[in-house]
Chain A
């Protein structure tokens, strides 16, 4: 095992050396950094050419420059080298240090949403194989998969930002839109739930009318302008969440778990008012970890109260419920921040932004306004990235689950008389995750590489922008810096995926001769 890892790390070094040499030289001959200056009529054009030649060592051939760069980088191993400086004299390490968090902020949310949403829909489509829902989702998956993100981004900005902001200026919903929303949501839920024709139509009509009614209520009550859940809303949400999580985690037949979950909801409601005071506090850095710790402790406590044996699954259930309730409480606080945010001079009644990472005019200082602002700036890019990337997960998880469901051990499990929930969640779903793990690991590693086009169209300056700028500005040190990070992560992620695979699936052993 250890020799295997070392062998793989050895190949990593060889791959990095070879590919960096090729990339450096290709980039070096691909462009002429003083080309533009040749046509320049500026009085100091000659000086500019001299300075550029001096800084980029253009008097030396590219392979020689590569080895100079390599010597500098290898110097880091003995403590006196660095990744060089960019053309604007910033150290490459600090440029990367600033870009990686930006990229993580942009891409990680989208990746996790895509993974969760993709797997969920994939499983539902597999369970409802060849149903209308399956066909529709397959169609949507392929449609989204094939869309170019820059175009998706432009459409999202036009409809969900510019026009939605205009709508908020005078929120009136036309019967056309109302009936449209009713039809679509009715159809969606009716196809998911399935069943007989009668049941289909009754669900369709019921959900359609209900969603239209909800939309009308939201618009008429000015809830859009002044949203919030309040303790009552949280209570309703909480009970739903408790039932849902218990059902998926241990099954509703486990009365202890259900009670414990509901107990967590009650605790969450009791904590609602103290947490409002805590939210007002200025020392968020101290308060927040404390609140997280408290959530854990309460979940553990509930487990001990409600169960004497087999506490693992119960703890899992209570903890998940507690975390979700906390999230809903924070969501409620953000909703209450909406009105002051919406009415601030900086936002001026147009809360959905199309560009950037934060509002240019919003004064820093108010924690919740700033947080809401950052979240609002994440909405569109996250939607765009999720839309184009979750289709893959739908297809993978659907295919894998269908394959697993045809295995002998599933038939055995059913023959044993296990409930359908246990068969799916414990026997099928877990085995579905094994091949998915390898894909997810590699995808997560590639998050750091950034999303060049998304970053560009949404004005985010992460790794993708860095790479793009490095190529366009002939910034070889920067280019190689980005490359080193992304290439090492890609190779390492493959190694981790292989190791994980062997750890999860006992049939596979790495490094065995």
Chain B
């Protein structure tokens, strides 16, 4: 009896202390959050966004956070070398050779060291020549995709690579030879891929391999790469192109698919709902993280729903296109910070002066240069009048300012207001022709210019007919812009037809239209990335043809230039485009990011991957 009593007391004491421990634990863990929930507008479909059909924002965001390479973009945006991962340097100018090396000691999440062999797969998925030579199929075939169904073919790397990358003697890197000194060789740096897992997956394995086993698998790939072993590579290609296309991750998922070198790894995914990323304990390939253990990407496609979820503290980060209603709703929510910024998407108007490449019909409208010097001078005057009368300020004031106080007119063809040389560019590029004075005075001048050639037209009875392509009737913002444009142009004697078209993008090559206005997006910062196709022969619909611009673009595309030289070439492009009255830009689109008050370190970038670019700096 006594004995029973004692043990009962002991049990009671144990239970009480357990209760105390639990009682003390639960509030403490609630105080410091370690997870971030972000909103994504589409669903997760693949761990490999470089294959066809999978290049979606959520997939690329996940790939960005789960893998690291030689560089990343910051939010200026400019290229930042990732020195924790590796380094690159030019080792010979002629022939132009670049050595890309990964650091010793960095590892994949399964503990396998990363080395130069992991950089070789990048060549297989980017070089058409290698794909053909290794019997993997021609990527340009219009009937069937190559064994590696990659979106990387036919890019800068593919067009400039000579031969194959050569493994350095210490196996820690590769040396790549390019045809000539190409400007953006950093961007062509090979990405690392855990090739040993690919070999193991191709062999049907379902468990993480041991160290020696992984090394053997890696060497198997190296041999296959060197000997162009079609059978082995094809099996790997099949895995690379399809096995990573999964939309759910759980305990049954093959762990080999999840091996990567990023700060976070995919730990679970619920189909069409969310993906959970968890800190990679072996991560040493990039900047240090700051205490966030889990990042959850939630699929919410409706903007209003996302804002309400933010208000209900169900999500922590929401980035979206700014709308007046959405912004008002966000500003009312307590406990969040709203970050207003300008995105790398901008809106501009583009005029037509002739036929674009590959167009079969001829453009004969009022802006057509024609074949004589006199007709060209007349067309240029009419285009100038159009751009002078184009009510840019009013559009910015009425349509864009309500969305963001930061919105303002964009006075350069290529440069954003955040670029260091923006002011210098605006002062010298000749945009002042379309910005000097007031809109009223410019419109008066424009009308005079038009009346020189079309004396019967007037502000009260405009009769110079032009047709402008601009978008679909469902786009409310464009509709208000179109109304402002029609009224503004009428004052300069233009009778503008602004009928909306649902399939407007397909009509861009059509010569029935004299002008179009639309949004443009910048996908990355590369030396010639801003020229916007003003060179003749590029994919453009304006029919613009100016030898000075062609020469400048060619220089930007083909030679390595200093910052000043790059500016000088862009200045040539802008001066000519403005002087020939081919285009003015309206404004950069505002972007809005709303973040839970406690979460620190979010500083969105204008280009992809926008909000998540500095995920390692986030903390509570």
CB of A35 within 8 A of CB of B308, answer no
CB contacts under 8 Å to B, within A43-66, are 43-48, 50-55, 59
Closest residue of B by beta carbon distance from A157: B308
How far apart are the CA atoms of A465 and B42 in the complex, in Å? Answer: 11
Chain A residues positioned under 8 Å from B529 (CB to CB): 41, 43
CB of B151 within 8 A of CB of A459, answer no
Closest residue of A by beta carbon distance from B42: A469
User: Quick one: given A47-B151, A54-B142, are A165 and B526 in contact (CB under 8 Å)?
Assistant: no
Q: Which of A38, A88, A154, A456 contacts B308 (CB 8 A)?
A: A154
B123 nearest CB across to chain A (Å): 16
User: Quick one: given A43-B155, A90-B45, A355-B308, are A456 and B521 in contact (CB under 8 Å)?
Assistant: no
Closest residue of B by beta carbon distance from A355: B309
CB of A54 within 8 A of CB of B145, answer yes
CB contacts under 8 Å to B, within A335-351, are 343, 345, 348, 350
Q: Which of B26, B142, B156 contacts A43 (CB 8 A)?
A: B156
CB of A355 within 8 A of CB of B155, answer no
B27 nearest CB across to chain A (Å): 9
Chain B residues positioned under 8 Å from A358 (CB to CB): 270, 273
Closest residue of B by beta carbon distance from A357: B273
CB of A354 within 8 A of CB of B272, answer no
A340 nearest CB across to chain B (Å): 10
Closest residue of A by beta carbon distance from B38: A360
0/1 per residue, B491-512, Cβ < 8 Å to A? 0000000000011011010000
B231 nearest CB across to chain A (Å): 23
How far apart are the CA atoms of A54 and B308 in the complex, in Å? Answer: 41
B160 nearest CB across to chain A (Å): 12
Answer whether residue B153 sits at the interface, using C-beta atoms and an 8 A cutoff. Answer: yes
Closest residue of B by beta carbon distance from A461: B272
Closest residue of A by beta carbon distance from B526: A43
Answer whether residue B312 sits at the interface, using C-beta atoms and an 8 A cutoff. Answer: yes
CB of A88 within 8 A of CB of B152, answer no
Closest residue of A by beta carbon distance from B275: A360
User: Quick one: given A44-B152, A458-B305, A459-B299, are A51 and B52 in contact (CB under 8 Å)?
Assistant: yes
How far apart are the CA atoms of A32 and B504 in the complex, in Å? Answer: 9
CB of B140 within 8 A of CB of A360, answer no
Answer whether residue A361 sits at the interface, using C-beta atoms and an 8 A cutoff. Answer: yes
CB contacts under 8 Å to A, within B32-80, are 33, 35, 37, 43, 45-46, 51-56
Answer whether residue B518 sits at the interface, using C-beta atoms and an 8 A cutoff. Answer: yes
How far apart are the CA atoms of A358 and B520 in the complex, in Å? Answer: 37
Q: Which of B55, B154, B273 contacts A46 (CB 8 A)?
A: B154
Most buried by A among B30, B43, B247, B305: B305
A384 nearest CB across to chain B (Å): 12
Q: Which of B143, B314, B520 contacts A54 (CB 8 A)?
A: B143
0/1 per residue, A17-42, Cβ < 8 Å to B? 00000000000001110011011111
Interface size on B, residues (CB 8 A): 72
Q: Which of B55, B300, B508 contacts A38 (CB 8 A)?
A: B508
Chain B residues positioned under 8 Å from A359 (CB to CB): 314
Answer whether residue A259 sits at the interface, using C-beta atoms and an 8 A cutoff. Answer: no
CB of A39 within 8 A of CB of B505, answer yes
A201 nearest CB across to chain B (Å): 41
Q: Which of A89, A350, A357 contacts B54 (CB 8 A)?
A: A89
Q: Which of A88, A162, A345, A459 contacts B301 (CB 8 A)?
A: A459
Q: Which of B33, B46, B523 contacts A41 (CB 8 A)?
A: B523
| Main SS at interface, chain B | loop
How far apart are the CA atoms of A87 and B273 in the complex, in Å? Answer: 19
Closest residue of A by beta carbon distance from B294: A361
0/1 per residue, B297-321, Cβ < 8 Å to A? 0111110111011011111000000
Answer whether residue B242 sits at the interface, using C-beta atoms and an 8 A cutoff. Answer: yes
Chain A residues positioned under 8 Å from B144 (CB to CB): 54
How far apart are the CA atoms of A104 and B531 in the complex, in Å? Answer: 52
Q: Which of A89, A102, A353, A461 contacts B312 (CB 8 A)?
A: A353
How far apart are the CA atoms of A104 and B387 in the complex, in Å? Answer: 56
CB of A35 within 8 A of CB of B300, answer no
B508 nearest CB across to chain A (Å): 6
Answer whether residue A499 sits at the interface, using C-beta atoms and an 8 A cutoff. Answer: no
CB of B506 within 8 A of CB of A35, answer yes
CB of A47 within 8 A of CB of B245, answer no
Answer whether residue A457 sits at the interface, using C-beta atoms and an 8 A cutoff. Answer: yes
User: Quick one: given A55-B53, A88-B56, A360-B274, are A35 and B505 in contact (CB under 8 Å)?
Assistant: yes
Most buried by B among A45, A353, A360, A465: A360
Answer whether residue B271 sits at the interface, using C-beta atoms and an 8 A cutoff. Answer: yes
CB of B312 within 8 A of CB of A154, answer no
Most buried by A among B54, B141, B314: B314
Chain B residues positioned under 8 Å from A213 (CB to CB): none
CB of B30 within 8 A of CB of A345, answer yes
How far apart are the CA atoms of A345 and B293 in the complex, in Å? Answer: 14
Chain B residues positioned under 8 Å from A360 (CB to CB): 37, 274, 276, 296, 298, 314-315
Answer whether residue A161 sits at the interface, using C-beta atoms and an 8 A cutoff. Answer: yes
Closest residue of B by beta carbon distance from A453: B302
CB of A88 within 8 A of CB of B54, answer yes
CB of A354 within 8 A of CB of B53, answer no
Chain A residues positioned under 8 Å from B145 (CB to CB): 51, 54-55
Most buried by B among A352, A353, A356, A457: A356
CB of A356 within 8 A of CB of B273, answer yes
User: Quick one: given A41-B522, A358-B273, are A154 and B503 in contact (CB under 8 Å)?
Assistant: no
Answer whether residue B291 sits at the interface, using C-beta atoms and an 8 A cutoff. Answer: no
Chain A residues positioned under 8 Å from B141 (CB to CB): 54
CB contacts under 8 Å to B, within A123-181, are 150, 154, 157-158, 161-162, 165
Answer whether residue A214 sits at the interface, using C-beta atoms and an 8 A cutoff. Answer: no
How far apart are the CA atoms of A358 and B526 in the complex, in Å? Answer: 42
B146 nearest CB across to chain A (Å): 10
What 6 A-B pairs have minimum CB-CB distances, sorted nearest first?
A35-B505, A461-B272, A88-B45, A32-B506, A355-B309, A42-B523
- Contacts A47-B139, A459-B302, A461-B43 given; 20 further ones with Cβ under 8 A? A35-B506, A39-B520, A40-B521, A44-B154, A48-B55, A50-B142, A52-B52, A53-B142, A54-B142, A55-B52, A59-B142, A88-B53, A102-B272, A343-B26, A345-B33, A348-B30, A355-B314, A360-B274, A360-B315, A456-B301
